[in-house]
Structure 1
Amino acid sequence: MSGVHATARIRACADGRGGTALPVLDGDGPLAVRRTRAAGDEARVMLVGAMSGPLGGDRFRVEAEVGGGARLHVGSAAATIALPGQLKDEAHYAVRLTVADGGELRWLPEPLISARGSELYVTTHADLAPGARLVLREEQVLGRAGEEPGRLTSRLVLRVGGKTVLDQELACGPGAPGGWDGPAVLGGHRAVGQLVVVRPEFAERPVAARIVGEHAALVPLAGPAALVTAVAPDGLRLRRVLDEALADLG
């Protein structure tokens, strides 16, 4: 007996008329992809969960590729909830993002919620050309209201021009290395998020490191990129902090 395996694929390219075309827009099983109304030259796509999950043993994968001159915005219709399943294996959710020179991707899904008894390993790999642009937001909420979290491990890798500028991993919940809920990591908070912004102009004018809000920090990365890391008591306040940080970056 095995879990559900599902893949969604999105490919965006310049349409030659100042807009963005979507020659590939495909999803199967619980991963449905829907095109929504464009905003100017930016194509917009929504990820729609057609089933509960991911559950134990499931393997989900989302691939998004943006060509030169194309602009793509990807969101999700609702939060993703990691749930326990009949299988005792951990679930996996992999995201692979590729952006070419002159392309721009805004990856802004709704939060991932780690429900009690679940075990999920999330990986996000973003591979950008030197002249690409990216706004990437990740939000994780540990447990639903009044609930202890499941086990959640999240890894985020960013490469620009073939060089790794960010590779970080965080494990939370039962069985995670000790100290994950202590003052050096979450400090008792139940929502954690990252915002990555990549712009070619950051190579010449890096952002200045600073505190953003009460429990968030903005730091430059070793490349044309900036990282905001934040914790908050809940998902609503986490979103507010990340939105403020993005506005602060212009």
Structure 2
Amino acid sequence: MIVSGVRATARIAARADGRGVTSLPVLEGEGPLALRRTRGSGGEARVMLVGAMSGPLGGDHFTVEADVEEGARLRVGSAAATIALPGQAKGEACYDVRLKVADGGELEWLPEQLICAGGSDLRVATRVDVGGGGRLVLREEQVLGRFGERPGRLSSRLSVRVGGRVVLDQELVCGPGAPGGWDGPAVLGGHRAVGQLVVVRPEFGAEPVTGRVLGESAVLMPLAGPAVLVSAVATDALRLRRVLDEALAALG
């Protein structure tokens, strides 16, 4: 019997309504990707991504898209961690995220952790396009294995463009079958949680942020243009979240 994976797409469009409030003319989810609007503050719209099924499993291909228009403010979170699991279908699971923020738009992309359970094979690709006057806070947190189990395989690529210029394009491959050294001191150093925080603000162009080490396992780096990157590793998801939250608070 041939078992094929699930393909599902969730789409969000945020638009300023001219009265200081952000509307959501598009809020569509398929299959395991359900979207729910929640109470926002001020003119901000808030959306929660709710996993209606387990996954992604082997062979699944999930896509999440968000488009924030000029003057709109959108905050997106998720109801729980996403857990990649081995499935009956052969091949890797794919999770694509496509984000677009226009000039004058603002997006906070703050999902919960993505966990690669033992035996899973997950490819994550996040592509972000921010207008020159747009604002972005993006957090990615990835955990290799649940408590006490061996990690799954993770391939993660994050690319960010600001004003049409590439400011970040990085890829991390770790877990079983990954190139040697992924768990060595130059990469994860024995840690099992890895995260990135990308912050884009127009004022960073006029007043660049100074790069610095944050504690024992994180670093803040200015990127070309009005953007900064915080990269961190930690022993577990709780400690990773604490480091990234402290870094965001330090940026003001």
Q: What are the superposed Cα offsets for residues 153-194 of structure 1, whole Å, 9 maximum, x if unpaired? A: 000000011111000000110000100000000000010000
1:64 maps to what in 2? Answer: 66
Cα separation, 2, equivalents of 1:177 and 1:206: 35
Question: Aligned ranges for residues 166-181 of structure 1 at < 5 Å?
Answer: 166-181=168-183
Q: Look up the match of 1:164.
A: 166
1-structure distance, mates of 2:234, 2:153: 19
Post-superposition offset of 1:88? 2.0
Residue in structure 2 matched with residue 223 of structure 1 by the alignment? 225
Residue segments in structure 1 that go unaligned for 5+ positions in a row: none
Equivalents in 1 of 2:31, 2:76: separation in Å?
19
**How far apart, CA to CA, are the structure 2 residues paired with 1:223 and 1:169?**
20
1:213 CA drift (Å): 1.9
Q: Which runs of 5+ in 2 are unaligned?
A: none
Structure 1 counterpart of 2:140, which letter? E
CA distance in 1, matches of 2:35, 2:101: 19
The aligned residue for residue 140 of structure 2 is: 138
**CA separation in 2, counterparts of 1:5 and 1:223?**
36
Deviation at 1:38, TM superposition (A): 1.2
CA distance in 1, matches of 2:199, 2:214: 15
User: 204-213 or 5-14: which moved more?
Assistant: 204-213
Please list every run of at least 4 consecutive aligned residues from structure 1 whose deviation after the TM superposition is greater than 3 angstroms. Answer: none
Superimposed CA distance per residue, residues 80-120 of structure 1 (whole angstroms, 9 cap, x where no aligned partner): 00000011200100000000010000000000000000000
SS at match of 1:28: coil
**With structure 1 as the length reference, what TM-score do the two structures score?**
0.99
The one-letter amino acid paired with 2:88 is: Q
Residue in structure 2 matched with residue 43 of structure 1 by the alignment: 45
Q: How far apart, CA to CA, are the structure 2 residues paired with 1:212 and 1:68?
A: 34
Q: CA offset at residue 2 of structure 1? A: 1.5
Choose from 180, 184, 187 the match for 1:185: 187
Partner of 2:82 in structure 1?
Answer: 80
Number of aligned pairs?
250
2:19 corresponds to 1:13: no
Please give the alpha-carbon distance, in whole angstroms, between the structure 2 residues aligned to 1:220 and 1:40. 30
Q: Which amino acid aligns with 2:85?
A: L
SS in structure 2 at match of 1:53 = coil
Question: Quick one: which of 200, 208, 217 aligns to 2:202?
Answer: 200
2:98 corresponding residue in structure 1: 96
Q: Does 1:125 align with 2:127?
A: yes
Which amino acid is 2:23 matched to? Answer: A
Kindly report the root-mean-square deviation, in angstroms, between the aligned alpha carbons of the 2 structures.
0.5
- Give the Cα separation in 2 of the matches to 1:157 and 1:135: 14
* Partner SS state of residue 203, structure 1: helix
Distance 2:151 2:42 in 1: 40
* Distance in structure 1 (CA, Å) of the matches to 2:42 and 2:219: 32
CA distance, structure 2, for counterparts of residue 203 and residue 91 of structure 1: 38
**What is the deviation of 1:24?**
0.3
Partner of 2:55: 53
Aligned partner of residue 80 in structure 2, secondary structure: coil
Q: How far did residue 221 of structure 1 move?
A: 0.2
Q: Deviations over 1:13-59 (max 9, x none)?
A: 10111110000000010000000001111100000000000000000
Structure-2 separation of matches of 1:206 and 1:121 = 33
- Within 1, Cα distance between the matches of 2:126 and 2:206? 27
State the alpha-carbon separation in 2 of the partners of residues 206 and 2 from structure 1: 48
